[in-house]
Amino acid sequence: MNITVEEFKEKYNENPELYDKITDLYQEYKDMEDIQHKIDATLIELTYLQLEVDIKSSCLAEANKKQE
């Protein structure tokens, strides 16, 4: 069910406590969404770093084989 902000305000204006609870829950949801984006960005960065480590390890292993 999608309603506009104005419809929301009109509907819950009669019950300020419910309005406050709903807006608080929405803010918590937005905060969690922001945290999820940060987690996703961190996971991408960690994946990139793991690829770098894998490439460097492979290069070192190849260099060690050549020295033998």
Structurally, the chain folds into a number of domains equal to 1
**Domain, as residue range, for 21:** 5-67
Q: Is 1 helix (H, G, I), strand (E, B) or coil?
A: coil
The whole-angstrom distance between residue 42's C-alpha and the CA centroid of its chain comes to 9
Measured CA distances, 57 to 8, 9, 43, 47, 51 (Å): 57, 59, 21, 15, 10
CB 12 within 8 A of CB 22: yes
pLDDT band at 1 (very low <50, low <70, confident <90, very high): low
- pLDDT single digits (tens) 25-61: 999 999 999 999 999 999 999 999 999 999 999 999 9
For residue 24, the model assigns a pLDDT of 93
Q: Convert the pLDDT of each residue in 2-11 to its tens digit.
A: 878 788 777 7
